[in-house]
Structure 1
């Protein structure tokens, strides 16, 4: 019996050795894991992080790292993300609060993931990655409606590990912060609208997509993220005016109809509109109130501009922006309790001055000028970038969603559809089973590690 076990063990080692030595198999699995990464992106940050570690390990095991880094460096968008990371690191040199600075460097490091993803993405995986992200959002939406209809609990745990939890009973965003959730739903609506308009999918599939568009649009307006409302409206306006053209009137009518229905039926939207209107009136008064939700954001700009002083060119340092704002603001200002500036553009300007802001804006410039001949990929690239651009007007990269989302979508749109990094023919059924199996493994690992703590 011991001999049989030993033989099986040796066969397993031989099989493992052959896999490790087969670069094509490693590349295949990196692509499989990227699909999983996209699925868990809007669902579980811890699982997503573990999947990236696995991808990174395979990246180094595959070898030829120097070659792949050189190839990635040739891409101007990849370089733009590297430059942003570098200037955030350099900003530590004139920071006093190094601990806080390192925290911000950590939030920007996700841009470097593009180097790895870009090195292995196979064109045949573009649709799989896109479908995985949309499926993750669909799962979130189903749970959200389940909570709204009191079919599902507001908090669900498995073996003592919290799987999801809504912030409040009136804010049904199960996995993401409500700002991120609303913005992500807005992107999904646009991606599905593009598929309906441009693709040749069967009618039944387009009907299902249309239903998802309607339910996702409604879901945006029953969560508490005002950024999601604004992003949704802006993206649909851009879609209608610049892309739908002869269907622009229908698109604009849809925007007006959805917003009108939401204003009449969504209590949380009505509440947010009233709060925003009141905050705006108080800000425009002779004695501005900087202690409302909108006022705190306005206070960031007001006290921040006073605090930056003579540091307009290079900023106050990667870790010092909130410290100098707190030193400048009055003690009674509620914004002193905030961990960040609630705006990535302004935060970068405070930390790294005009130089840092230009380096950051260079990413957008390089993306919009990128020569992507495929219209579908160009569309996804542009609208993902616009989504992130609007989303970070009221939040930042520190919550680990917008930057990874941006990088994943860029990794599948900077390449060509005919690009093949995997040299073999792909079996759809086999790949699906591999991805599901790997997904179950990472989910069980997550439960085990969380439960053990």
Structure 2
């Protein structure tokens, strides 16, 4: 039995190895992610050091904001429409424990390995996506029109764009020509994959991230704007003319918005997005202080649609408002909205010394905020793991930089 006991001095090394596996698993396997989260948590608990961890965690803004979200959510079950539904909903926040573990266990020498593992997994996911698109094989429920093998197409599109910024960062920071060429080729395949998929959210995020990345990375702002404009305009021009999926989705969205604006008909996709924002906002103002509690946020949506004479689909066919800010506001009132804003603000204010990581943190934050405007990003598994992995990673990097600076001073 003695041989099975793990040396506590070695546990942190094993946890960091598992962080690498976790980053690889995120794009390709929910089952592996769940298993790794469990094993990492068990090792983290076994290692102990609770006083040290408490002193680390108690002053971290992101940790405090996440804790406030979970506590307020638990309190809100007392006025939720269904206690069982509310507790089940909140239980899914366990994925955010990884942010706590990253903050107390990450070692800086493993950061590059974590990012590399994520890139390799995205390459695997991308290859499968191309295989589905070109009908080389079938995979689960993915189709030629939605060739996303492991994630919902909205999430996949956003993750693709964030991946492209890691590759751009590598192009600027790597000195070897071979590494630069491989990163450029990978970047091109990522962009093509983005536009043969149906994720319009990611395509909007692409515009914002490419423009922001070059403005942050290049000192000559005129040059940065010129490069970003050329990449964005040429990409969308080529995609519109050569990608049937992109072309059709653009016209589909345009049709939906036109029907909503000119005919007050919100039944198409673009119109439903508009109606959800209007109905969700009204629901929030009618429950401004406490919210409706964690539960079925859509339970009164049809009522609001009828009262306002909105022509919509049956709102009960949707699980939520497809917008984190509206969902949280409806569920938890103004205090919930302030907490979710504080979560994102705490990531924005992270002090990261290494320029590449500082820029990537900004890229992740922008991508996730925009993603959250069109999806319930902090309740679906892939969205939560995406957040836990990279918010946890960058939050921990900031802690390591702070400790390093205090030692040097």
Q: Does 1:394 align with 2:374?
A: yes
CA–CA distance in structure 1, aligned partners of residues 88 and 219 of structure 2: 44
Moved more, 400-409 or 48-57: 400-409
Moved more, 180-189 or 62-71: 62-71
Which residue of the other structure, out of 96, 103, 111, is the alignment partner of 2:96?
A: 111
Structure 1 position 332, deviation (Å)? 6.7
Moved more, 95-104 or 222-231: 95-104
Structure 1 position 262, deviation (Å)? 0.5
Moved more, 329-338 or 128-137: 329-338
Q: Does 1:214 align with 2:185?
A: no
- The C-alpha deviation readout for 1:10-45, integer Å capped at 9, x for no partner, is xxx33222xx2x222211111111111111111111
Q: Does 1:264 align with 2:241?
A: yes
Query: 1:127: which partner in 2?
Result: 112
- The C-alpha deviation readout for 1:181-220, integer Å capped at 9, x for no partner, is 11100001011101111x1331111101100000100100
Structure 1 position 306, deviation (Å)? 3.7
SS of 1:322's partner is coil
Which residue of the other structure, out of 308, 313, 321, is the alignment partner of 2:289?
A: 313
Query: 1:403: which partner in 2?
Result: 384
Which residue of the other structure, out of 52, 59, 71, is the alignment partner of 2:56?
A: 71
How many correspondences in the alignment? 393
- The C-alpha deviation readout for 1:287-312, integer Å capped at 9, x for no partner, is 41121112222222223334445311
SS of 1:321's partner is coil
CA–CA distance in structure 1, aligned partners of residues 292 and 394 of structure 2: 36
Which residue of the other structure, out of 325, 328, 332, is the alignment partner of 1:348?
A: 328
CA–CA distance in structure 2, aligned partners of residues 290 and 108 of structure 1: 32
Structure 1 position 76, deviation (Å)? 1.6
Query: 1:275: which partner in 2?
Result: 252
Q: Does 1:230 align with 2:204?
A: yes
Moved more, 205-214 or 68-77: 68-77
Structure 1 position 241, deviation (Å)? 2.7
Q: Does 1:180 align with 2:155?
A: yes
Aligned-CA RMSD value? 2.0
- The C-alpha deviation readout for 1:47-91, integer Å capped at 9, x for no partner, is 101111000111111122343233222222221221122222222
CA–CA distance in structure 2, aligned partners of residues 139 and 292 of structure 1: 34
SS of 2:321's partner is coil
CA–CA distance in structure 2, aligned partners of residues 398 and 57 of structure 1: 23
Name the TM-score, length of structure 1 as normaliser: 0.82
* Cα distance change of structure 1 residues 216 and 177 upon mapping to structure 2, 3 Å threshold: same
* Cα distance change of structure 1 residues 74 and 418 upon mapping to structure 2, 3 Å threshold: closer
Structure 1 position 138, deviation (Å)? 0.8
Which residue of the other structure, out of 98, 108, 128, is the alignment partner of 1:143?
A: 128
Query: 1:294: which partner in 2?
Result: 270
Moved more, 328-337 or 105-114: 328-337
- The C-alpha deviation readout for 1:373-413, integer Å capped at 9, x for no partner, is 22222112211111111111111122212222222223332
- The C-alpha deviation readout for 1:350-385, integer Å capped at 9, x for no partner, is 111121101100011112222222222211221111
Please tell me whether the aligned partners of residues 166 and 175 of structure 1 are also in contact (alpha carbons under 8 angstroms). Answer: no
Please tell me whether the aligned partners of residues 301 and 315 of structure 2 are also in contact (alpha carbons under 8 angstroms). Answer: no
Q: Point out 4+ residue stretches in structure 1 off by more than 6 angstroms.
A: none
Name the TM-score, length of structure 2 as normaliser: 0.91
Q: Does 1:380 align with 2:364?
A: no
CA–CA distance in structure 2, aligned partners of residues 350 and 370 of structure 1: 28
* Cα distance change of structure 1 residues 346 and 419 upon mapping to structure 2, 3 Å threshold: closer
CA–CA distance in structure 2, aligned partners of residues 200 and 35 of structure 1: 21
Structure 1 position 344, deviation (Å)? 0.6
CA–CA distance in structure 2, aligned partners of residues 29 and 400 of structure 1: 24
Structure 1 position 127, deviation (Å)? 0.5
CA–CA distance in structure 1, aligned partners of residues 89 and 301 of structure 2: 16
* Cα distance change of structure 1 residues 107 and 233 upon mapping to structure 2, 3 Å threshold: farther
SS of 2:362's partner is helix
Matches within 5 A, 1:157-172: 165-172=140-147
* Cα distance change of structure 1 residues 228 and 418 upon mapping to structure 2, 3 Å threshold: closer
Which residue of the other structure, out of 323, 331, 334, is the alignment partner of 2:299?
A: 323
* Cα distance change of structure 1 residues 416 and 343 upon mapping to structure 2, 3 Å threshold: closer
